[in-house]
Amino acid sequence: MTVKGLKRRVLPELDDEFAKDLGEFETLDTLKTRVREDLEHEAKHAADRDVRGELMKQLASRLPFEVPASLVAREIDRRLEDFARRLIDQNIDPRQAGIDWNAFRESQRDVAREAVAAALVLDEVTRREQLDVTDEEVEREVGRYAERTGRTPAAVRAALEKEGGLSRVYAGLRREKSIDFAMSRATIAGNS
C-alpha cells in the first residue's frame, strides 16, 4: 500500500467572522442565540407532537364501536397516496422504488385504524362543542401555505378550489380546533 497524501480537515474558527460568513449574523453571540432559539423551538414542537400523538391514541381508545373497515381502507389509501406524492416530490418514481406496496399497505392498517378512530372522536367533540372555522381563519391558513410555497394566496386558493381542496382546509382547521380543545381539557401526566 502506498500513501499518496494526508489530508487534514481544518475547521474554521468560531468567531465573529465565521458568523458573518453565514450571512445574517453580525457576531458569534448572535449566531449562538439564534441556534439556541431554533433548538428550543424544535424541542417544543417535538414535545407538542408527542403529546398530541398520545392524545390521539387516548381518543382513539375511547371509541365505543369498531371502526368501519371502509374508513380504514380509505385512510390507508390516503396514506399511500401521500407517501407516493412525497416520493414524486423527491424525483423518485414510486413504481420504480422497489417498495412492496401490499406489505406497505398492511403496515399502515393499525395506524390508519387509530387515526380514523381519533378523527371520529374529534368530529364528535367538534359537534358537541360547536367548534367551527371562520372564513378569516381559512384565509390565514391559505396565506400561510402560500408563504411557505412561494405562491400568492390567490393562486393557492384558486388551486384549492379547482381541486376541491378548500373543504380539506376547513376540515383540517376544525380538527385542529378540536385537538386544541381536547388538549386544553387533558390531564398530562409526566414520566417522572
Tens of pLDDT, residue by residue over 110-149, are 999 988 998 888 888 888 888 888 889 999 998 988 888 8
Handedness of CA 25, 27, 31, 37 (dihedral sign): negative
Rg (CA), the chain: 23
The answer to whether 47 and 83 have CB atoms below 8 angstroms apart is no
Cα angle, residue 163 at apex, residues 131 and 129 outer, rounded to 5°:
5
* 35-62: average pLDDT: 85
pLDDT confidence of 36, banded at 50, 70, 90? Answer: very high
HSE of 124 in the Cβ direction (CA atoms, 13 Å)?
Answer: 10
Question: pLDDT value at position 166?
Answer: 82
Ramachandran class of 150: left when φ > 0, alpha when ψ lies in -120 to 50, beta otherwise:
left
Ramachandran class of 82: left when φ > 0, alpha when ψ lies in -120 to 50, beta otherwise:
alpha
Handedness of CA 144, 145, 151, 154 (dihedral sign): negative
Element (H, E) at 180: helix 166-185
Number of Cβ within a 10 Å radius of residue 91:
6
Question: Percent of the chain, pLDDT > 70?
Answer: 97
Does the pTM surpass 0.75? The reply is no
* 12-37: average pLDDT: 88
Helix (H, G, I), strand (E, B) or coil at 23: coil
Q: Which of 143, 137, 139, 142 is nearest to 174 (CA)?
A: 137
Handedness of CA 83, 85, 91, 93 (dihedral sign): positive
Average pLDDT, rounded, for the chain: 86
As a whole number of angstroms, the distance between CA 14 and CA 134 comes to 49
